[in-house]
Structure 1
Amino acid sequence: MIIMKIIYLKYILTIMCVFSTLLSFARENVSLCGEWSFALEKDFPDKTDWLVTADFGKKVSVPHTWNVEDGIERVFGKAWYARKFNVPLTWNKKQVRVHFDAAYRDAVIYINGKKIGEHIGSGYTEFSFDISSYLNFGSENLICVSVDNRFSEYAFPYKEKFDWPNDGGIIRPVELIVTERPSIRYARVRSEINFEKKSASIQIEIKNWETGLSKVEYHYRIKEWKSGKEVLNEIRKVKIENEVCKVMFDLNDIKLWHFDDPNLYMLEVEAINKGKVTDTYSTRFGFRKVEVIGNQLFLNKELVRLPGIEYMPGSYPEFGMAEPLHVMEKAVDLMKELNCVITRCHWQYDKRYFDLLDEKGILAQEEIPWWQAPGNLSPEMEKLAKSQISEMIERDFNHPSIISWGVSNEVFNNTDKDVYRRLVKYAKDFQSDRLITVVSNLIFERLENDESLIGDIPTWNDYIGTWHGKNREETPEKLDIINKRALKGRPLLITEHGLCEPRFVGADPRRTTEMTYHYDQWAKHDYIIGAIYFSLNDYRTHVGEAGYGRYKSRVHGLTSMWFDKKPSFNIYKGLASPVYVENLQIKASGKEADLTLKVKNDLPSYILRNYVLEWQTVEGTKQLTLPELKPGDKFDVKIDGLSPKSCPKVKILRPTGFIVTEY
């Protein structure tokens, strides 16, 4: 009996050891953020040994841009970064990649004096290189990076034709990624949702860094991101075709992602070779469906009309484009405070920003920075545009917040429409289940020839009364002609509107007047599926008419560059609120009141679920979870426990805790 117990114990321990091996975390992420040496090349004209030393210039902390530093804010040229790092002997025969979230703009990377790669013309997309064969194991190593932000004809953004800061540097985090082989380059999740059964069929597509593989064994796990509840745990050996492998799973009892209920899932994939985990890759995703039917927008099979706003990163003067996470968090919280549930991005923003949109619940359109120029693309520039689309989609494929990829914005000069068609098709070929857009500001002139009609949603940057037209009263006429001669039964997304100071005078009072007038016009037309105000914040830009140095900017926001709220902030919050207090009648005792809530049915318009009514009582606060309320619904309720000595204080909160409105 004792012998049997010993044998059984050995068996259990063996199984545990094998399972422990499969569960081991095979990927190391080693941050290279922090102290680096930095120098502008122009300050050391005779220096020739950039590649062999980290002893030059001054010490800075990466992420970093020099264009917010005193005296060099307008220096556009080449700079050098360098730092030393130790590589342990245990990394020998492993794969070591150096990974940059972004370096603006033309970056060349050197390891121990040898060039290992470059990333040219694209300053906001991530890139990495295998540096395994360049390292000295068991000793100190040197990485040097040259970064050049001179205006360029081979770049997006193009030359000086963009309206945000030209901040050069290693502007986002950099790290080493250490794995065994095979190692995972990406894992993409596609899903088909059965809304009636609350289930989904998902396809997981994996691509490895290594080529020529025929079969790889993977361990797939999926968990609910918040609760940690496991919904999938399976090991499969899969065939690789055309350097990717695809596998299908069925999941039940799924929770949908919605801007009011942003449920996320975590996918963890382990690559296994001869029983050993060689790499571990993780990514978040969500289940949601966005589609255009006729002239309307649907989210998870429900009709929606959505208010939004755009944030302009890089505008906090102390940080510029190297802004830390807490600045992004503040921006996203302000957007939610404004009741905004959709946004757009003029370029490929920091991936941590999209993580926040996923978590907080904001839909997004992400774009490559082809803004106004060049009017037409050479074959070389079209190739660069496709490269930026590819890098953007590879990085951000799984973000449920992103519902659209944009290929251009306000391009002038009669662009060849076939260029747009090729870029739209290229983006669609990734089968990412996203809409593709071409953003226009002249659809009211180009009408049926407008480039935005090539995309899935026609768009309009509406600046009637400022950049276009004589005054805002022309807006109804413009909308009518757009609808009849351009849209012809299709929807319209307002992708920008705002007041640009000091180009246009009137300050925040005029901003409020223009905003409310245009918003009222948009709300009248059900083919307008949403409106994205521009912008949340006053923003830094190299073409700004206000301020100097790092403060050179355009005064365009509902807040300052430091997020100080202007009066227009609360006005827009009210416009974007999906519900309001229609009536409040206090009883004679002063201790009770009859309250009527009204759900808007224009812009915005969407179903409210699990919203909370909160009111102040003499003993504290009371809350009531509201029933499901559809656009146009009214809800009557009696609130009690009030103080006869003060006015009732009422709040409505989203399920995520953000305050919708206060009375």
Structure 2
Amino acid sequence: MVLLLPILDLHAQDALINNIYGRARQSLNGTWQYIIDPYETGYYNYRWQERDEKDREAYWNSDVPENKTDRKEHGYNDQYTLNVPGDWNSQKPELLYYEGTVWYKRSFDTPMVGRNEKVFLHFGAVNYRADVYLNGKKLGAHKGGFTPFNFQIPKGMLREKENFLVIKVDNKRFKDEIPTINTDWWNYGGITRDVHLVRVPSTFIQDYVVSLKHDSNVKQHTAEGWIVMSGARTGEGVVEIPELKIKQPLKIQGDTIRFEVKLPGVKLWSPTTPKRYDVVITVGEDVVKEKIGFRKIQVVGKQVLLNDKPLFMRGICIHEEIPEQVRRANGVSDAVQLLNKAKALHANMVRLAHYPHNEKMVQVADSMGILVWSEIPVYWTIDFTSAAVLDKAKQQLQDMITRDKNRASVIIWSVGNETPVTPERTRFMSTLVKFAKAMDYSRLVSAALEVHNVNGIQMIDDPLGEFTDIVSVNEYLGWYGGLPSDCRTAQWQVKYDKPLFISETGAEALAGFHGDSLTRWSEEYQAWYYREQVNMMKRMPDNFVGLSPWILNDFRSPRRNNPVYQEGWNNKGLYDHEGKRKQAFYVLKDYYDFVEKNWQTKPLVKRKKN
């Protein structure tokens, strides 16, 4: 069960509303007008002071001159438009590498709003900072490029016609942000996910969770959960699961309701049977409905158990990107495309790197039966000494968990990737692990650590491993050091008596470039790398529970500047820029076929003790 924690008020946002797609809503997706503003002229005056709210030259105010003598130095028109959701880099050639401010504007008419209804403006994500203005008034600001946020619209602010909505979007990188300046992916800017007006009753269901009780047994499964109301009240409600003929009354006292529900005859969610049930919660005038699967994930000794059975994770890492169109992924069709590629590999799990992906990605994984590792962008070299940065990381972790805690597919919350070992970093990261566990003890918590080669021994002794549920490491033996054949003599030592997961491994190959297996950058070298890795995996210690190689698709990265073999692309994908499979795809698929047939029925191989 997820425990309720107070929302961290870091960005002047209102508490997140759960299940936006199950609410009365009006989409504001579509064509928005824009202004590129590298000097932030619309925000600051020439003395570099923030403009007054009523400043007529502020870009959040009307661009229509009052009369023929009126001077306006900004304007929105249909000559300059961007699609929302979407990144600006892929839509306009001049914005390919742009990092800075772009103002988005669209007009809309007010929906029919009941006298006792509240209206929220909800964003799936905006990268990175969003300042939100409606009809010349600031609703608030938010930081974080991959997490949702919403603002309540005050009574009287909405107009019947032609509401003037302006978003200042700034994707500049800073040392004291999450992620920090240094990353290995494209910094796609813009309103990258859905925008909605959401209508709810004056007293409404703010948040809720329904999940399998952790100590539930096969003889009598039980669900538990809680409901948080916006606006304390007394009264009655009901939780229903129609397919299981469950209709349980709720007694409402205050703003938080806790409950347990017996689940006779329930079918548990798993990759082979991703069964979900319509769960309907009614409190007063508010009704929410959502498809929810019930499953249990836990660590017992050196194994990960899914529904009390040993689990081997046949994974693959994924960036939220469609390489065939060189853009940020969003929506159902993109999620289906990416996850179908993973299914073709015979993967049963995906690591969504290195940030929370869009909500549809996790929902589709739920329906397709694909396990999910979900991660916040605490990446490489953030400022681990800063309490403010830690608060930002906590906020993003909280928002990720709040959004996806009812998704059965999500089994691992990750608090970061490849962070350097220092006492300050370990305190920072272990705080995040504890924070995640306090919010949700029904899932595993991990982080992608690094493995170090010490005299030929692959040593895993990162002190953060003491705090995580599984020990996850990124290793590139044969790419960033040595040759793939070094895997043949590699020995592994793990300090912690916990399940071991390889969270990354991989090598680059330019699709269509061929040579012998020793020719780096060739498809043959990448295939050789995977063959040696696979053989090494078969000799791993007996706590080895899976892997998620790097990566499904080639993806854009400004760090990758070899003029022949990269040209701004990280080409470690098993699929190339055009969606074609490289040779290494088939090596990994064969291994996953082998594991799928042999796991739980007989030992994969006789493993050696290192």
TM-score tier, shorter chain, comes to 0.7 to 0.9
**Which string of whole-angstrom CA distances, capped at 9 and with x for unpartnered residues, describes residues 142-170 of structure 1?**
111010001112321111x1111101100
Residue 439 of structure 2 aligns to a residue whose secondary structure is coil
- Contact 1:193 1:287 (8 Å CA) reproduced: no
In the other structure, the counterpart of 2:388 is: 380
Contact 1:461 / 1:494 at 8 angstroms: preserved in 2? Answer: yes
Matched, 1:433 2:442: yes
Distance 1:259 1:92, change over 3 A: same
Amino acid at match of 2:449: S
Contact preservation (8 Å) 2:224, 2:260: yes
- Code of the residue aligned with 2:209 in structure 1: it is R
| Paired residue secondary structure (2:95) | coil
Q: 1:535 aligns with which of 551, 569, 572?
A: 551
Which residue among 331, 354, 357 is the counterpart of 2:362? 354
Q: Post-superposition shift, 1:373? A: 1.0
- Matched position secondary structure for 2:259: strand
Matched position secondary structure for 2:280: strand
Query: Structure 2: how far apart are the matches of 1:415 and 1:315?
Result: 38
Work out whether 1:164 is the aligned partner of 2:185: yes
Secondary structure of 2:167's match? strand
Q: Which residue of 1 aligns with 2:7?
A: none
Cα contact 2:469–2:498 (8 A) shared by 1: no
**Partner letter of residue 534 of structure 2?**
Y
For residue 87 of structure 1, report the CA deviation from its aligned partner: 1.1
Report the equivalent of 2:313: 306
Structure 1 CA distance, aligned partners of 2:192 and 2:35?
A: 15
Residues 190-229 of structure 1 mapped to structure 2, 5 A cutoff: 190-192=211-213, 197-210=218-231, 213-223=232-242, 229=243
Runs of 5+ in structure 2 lacking a partner?
1-20, 43-55, 64-75, 511-518, 605-610
CA distance, structure 2, for counterparts of residue 420 and residue 89 of structure 1 = 47
Supply the distance in 1 between the matched residues of 2:370 and 2:23 (Cα, whole angstroms): 31
Matches within 5 A, 1:491-530: 491-501=499-509, 505-525=520-540, 526-530=542-546
Q: Which digits, 9 at most, give the CA deviation of each residue in 1:282-329, with x for residues without a partner?
A: 333212112222222221111232321112112436362254432221
CA deviation map 1:560-581 (0-9, x unaligned): 13322222222221111147xx
Partner residue in 1 for 2:250 = 236
Q: C-alpha distance in 2, partners of 1:371/1:110?
A: 31
Contact 1:220–1:235 (Cα < 8 Å) also in 2 = yes
Q: Which residue does the alignment assign to 2:337? A: 330
Residue 461 of structure 2: aligned partner: 448
Asked whether the equivalents of residues 95 and 180 of structure 1 are also in contact (C-alpha less than 8 Å), the reply is: yes
Matches of 1:551 and 1:281, distance apart in 2: 48
Offset at 1:448? 3.1
2:28 to 20, 28, 32: 32
Secondary structure, counterpart of 1:494 in structure 2: strand
Q: TM (normalized to structure 1)? A: 0.77
Measure, in 1, the Cα distance between the counterparts of 2:358 and 2:113.
32
Q: Distance in 2 between matches of 1:435 and 1:216?
A: 36
SS of the equivalent of 1:71 reads helix
Map 1:141-180 → 2, pairs under 5 A: 141-159=163-181, 161-180=182-201
Query: Helix, strand or coil for the counterpart of 1:187?
Result: strand
1:263 aligns with 2:275: yes
Moved more, 130-139 or 423-432: 130-139
Q: How far is the alpha carbon of 1:449 from its aligned partner?
A: 4.0
After TM superposition, the structure 1 stretch with the greater mean CA deviation from structure 2, 34-43 or 318-327, is 318-327
Is the partner of 1:204 in helix, strand or coil?
strand
Q: Is the 8 A contact 1:440 1:450 kept in 2?
A: no
| Paired residue secondary structure (1:318) | coil
Find the counterpart in structure 2 of residue 588 from structure 1. none
Deviations 1:401-421 (A, max 9, x none): 111111111012525222222
In structure 1, what residue type is equivalent to 2:413?
W
What's 1:123 paired with? 145
- How far the C-alpha of 1:355 sits from its partner, in A, is 0.9
Letter aligned with residue 262 of structure 1? P
Distance 1:465 1:415 in 2: 30
Structure 1 residue ranges without an equivalent (≥5): 1-24, 224-228, 580-598, 607-629, 634-663
CA displacement at 1:230 relative to structure 2: 4.8
Partner of residue 587, structure 1:
none
Greater shift, 258-267 or 105-114, is seen at: 258-267
Aligned length in residues: 542
Aligned partner of residue 509 in structure 1, secondary structure: helix
The one-character-per-residue Cα deviations of 1:363-411 (angstroms, maximum 9, x if unpaired) are 1111111111126240000111111110010001011111111111101
Identity %: 24
- Tell me which amino acid in the other structure corresponds to 2:129: D
Q: Is the 8 A contact 1:86 1:139 kept in 2?
A: yes
Assess, with a 3 A threshold, how the Cα gap between structure 1 residues 514 and 219 changes in structure 2: closer, same or farther.
Answer: same
How far did 1:255 drift?
Answer: 0.4
* Two-structure CA RMSD over aligned residues (Å): 2.7
| Counterpart AA for 2:224 | Q
Q: Distance in 2 between matches of 1:269 and 1:551?
A: 52
Match of 1:531, as an amino acid?
A: L
Whether the 8 Å CA contact 1:493–1:530 is kept in 2: the answer is yes
Q: Evaluate the alpha carbon distance shift between residue 219 and residue 443 of structure 1 in structure 2; reply closer, same or farther with a 3 A threshold.
A: farther
CA contact (8 A) 1:317 1:551 kept: no
Aligned partner of 1:232: which letter? Answer: I
Q: Distance in 1 between matches of 2:376 and 2:423?
A: 17
Greater C-alpha radius of gyration: 1
1:252 pairs with 2:264: yes
Shift of residue 133, structure 1, vs aligned partner: 2.4
Please tell me the residue identity of whatever aligns with 2:450: N
1:642 aligned residue: none
Question: Which protein is richer in helix relative to its size?
Answer: 1
Aligned to 2:588: 572
Alpha-carbon separation, structure 2, partners of 1:188 and 1:366:
18
The 3 A distance-change label for structure 1 pair 561 and 209 is farther
Tell me the secondary structure at the aligned position of residue 511 of structure 1: helix
The alpha-carbon deviation at position 477 of structure 1 amounts to 5.3
Q: CA deviation at 1:632?
A: 6.1
C-alpha distance after superposition, 1:537-596 (max 9, x if no partner): 001123233679x983111111013322222222221111147xxxxxxxxxxxxxxxxx
The one-letter amino acid paired with 2:310 is L
